Amino acid sequence: MAPSHAPQPLLKDELDIVIPTIRNLDFLEMWRPFFQPYHLIIVQDGDPSKTIRVPEGFDYELYNRNDINRILGPRAACISFKDSACRCFGYMVSKKKYIYTIDDDCFVAKDPSGKDINALEQHIKNLLSPSTPFFFNTLYDPYRDGADFVRGYPFSLREGVPTAVSHGLWLNIPDYDAPTQLVKPLERNNRYVDAILTIPKGTLFPMCGMNLAFDRELIGPAMYFGLMGDGQPIGRYDDMWAGWCTKLGSYAQITADPIDGSEQLGVCILYDEMQVITDHLGLGVKTGLPYIWHSKASNPFVNLKKEYNGIFWQEELIPFFQSTSLPKEANTVQKCYLELAKQVRAKLGKVDGYFNKLADSMVTWIEAWDQLNPPKGGVATANGALKK
Ligand SMILES: O=c1ccn([C@@H]2O[C@H](COP(=O)(O)OP(=O)(O)O[C@H]3O[C@@H](CO)[C@H](O)[C@H]3O)[C@@H](O)[C@H]2O)c(=O)[nH]1
Ligand SMILES: [Mn+2]
């Protein structure tokens, strides 16, 4: 037990750590100094009859497929089986403001000085400091110690905007797709870049779920990791799908009512349960530090089988996301997401019938999210109805 004068770990009671696993949780021993004060939500994938041992001393809740089916009933169909996408169930059942998700083959990395990297602490700093999506700061994150806004950076934009997502990176095994893994089987990432960047507005990015944190109250309902894995024609695009939707969902382009003739930029953000589209404020997404040490290269041939449709379809998906805009009535994350599901069905259904199923799952996800996370003052009932 830490002495009472010891500083409390940042966001100790406001953050859950979500871990998808089809293996074991031995990796937690290495993370114990950093993770032990926090609550874990373990999503056990695969055979629910298998017992996953959680190392002593961790405060956790563990859900297997039987639990997911029991809690969500028919809506459980939107949670992937036999794919790391199952992790998003943990986002839904959490009651905390922040989420950190990490894979079970990711370990504590060392910085160039040889010091263990507390990835969780860095993610929290990233989320608690603003982002700068509207104007690029060439000296990287201006809010870090030892950095600032450079000359020519507009003072009107230096307040920055709330950060919704913190995307960490990986030393050793990088998150390459199967073709790249196949041609570069021995490549390891040994390059530690001491930088945190805000991803500019209107720019999509390939979000990896291996080492990721986000503000659940700002963007949680958009963090659906899609319908992947068992029974689906695609896998290992779970985090990519969520990243595209989330980045788009961060900016609800208001196509109506321009005030001064310019396009209003609006987002759906939650302020104290009030949902506000705010002009000129977006939600920031940061990438860069912290690094984790990724130890396991999954099998590139197995990955190729899972990914090939994603590699093919993404050439149509990216233009879809780049050209999508949301109506001004979409004034909550849930409404943004449901509008997006409509457009997925209308515009991607012709790419492949799978996208009709995915659009349905997106709607089911929001229904399940609202079932488990009723607005304050309402009580969720088993069938998802809201009891006042
Ligand atoms: O069927 C499954 C497979 C895996 N898991 C758990 O998910 C994570 C990631 O698994 P793994 O380390 O095998 O996969 P990678 O290729 O290294 O991961 C990258 O690809 C993404 C897949 O979408 C993933 O997010 C990336 O990090 C581990 O915790 C497995 O135990 C699972 O639950 N079910
Ligand atoms: Mn891995």
Least confident of 7-21, 41-55, 279-293, 304-318: 279-293
Encoded amino acid at 281, one letter: L
User: Rounded to whole angstroms, how far apart are CA atoms 292 and 29?
Assistant: 15
CA of 83 to the centre of ligand 1 (A): 7
Nearest CA to ligand 1 atom 18: 210
For 162-177, what is the mean pLDDT? Answer: 96
Instruction: Say what the pTM is.
Output: 0.89
What pLDDT is stored for residue 272 in this prediction?
A: 23
Q: Give the tens place of pLDDT for each residue, 193-217.
A: 999 999 988 788 899 999 999 999 9
- 21 compared with 340, residue with greater pLDDT: 21
What pLDDT is stored for residue 244 in this prediction?
A: 86
Helices (H) and strands (E) in the chain, counts: 10, 14
Helix extents (H) in 133-259: 178-183, 216-219, 238-249
Q: Which atom of ligand 1 is nearest to the CA of 22?
A: 31
| Structure tokens given for 203 | 């720019």
Q: Give the tens place of pLDDT for each residue, 262-289.
A: 333 333 332 222 122 222 237 899 999 9
For 333-354, what is the mean pLDDT? Answer: 93
CA of 220 to the centre of ligand 2 (A): 23
Nearest CA to ligand 1 atom 2: 83
User: Rounded to whole angstroms, how far apart are CA atoms 129 and 143?
Assistant: 7
Whole-angstrom CA distances from 175 to 34, 110, 168, 207, 239 are 23, 18, 11, 10, 11
CA of 308 to the centre of ligand 2 (A): 18
- Which residues have CB under 6 Å of ligand 1? 20-23, 45, 82-84, 86, 103-105, 175, 208-210, 229, 236, 238-239, 296, 298
| Structure tokens given for 153 | 């950076």
User: Which of 64, 65, 103 for a ligand 1 pocket mutation test, highest count of atoms within 8 Å of Cβ?
Assistant: 103
DSSP 155: G
Beta strands in 9-55 (DSSP E): 15-21, 39-44
DSSP-assigned beta bridge partners for residue 60: 40
261 has pLDDT over 90: no
Nearest CA to ligand 1 atom 16: 298
CA of 378 to the centre of ligand 1 (A): 36
Least confident of 40-54, 117-131, 237-251, 312-326: 237-251
What pLDDT is stored for residue 297 in this prediction?
A: 74
What pLDDT is stored for residue 144 in this prediction?
A: 96
Direct distance between the N- and C-terminal alpha carbons of the chain, in angstroms, rounded to an integer: 41
User: Rounded to whole angstroms, how far apart are CA atoms 105 and 191?
Assistant: 19
120 has pLDDT over 80: yes
pLDDT above 70: percentage of residues in the chain: 87
Nearest CA to ligand 1 atom 28: 103
For 138-162, what is the mean pLDDT? Answer: 97
Ligand nearest to the Cα of 102, by number: 1
Q: Which atom of ligand 1 is nearest to the CA of 44?
A: 33
Q: Which atom of ligand 1 is nearest to the CA of 23?
A: 31
Least confident of 107-116, 132-141, 194-203: 194-203
Nearest CA to ligand 1 atom 27: 210
Q: Give the tens place of pLDDT for each residue, 368-378.
A: 999 999 977 54
At residue 4 the predicted structure's pLDDT band, cuts being 50, 70 and 90, is low
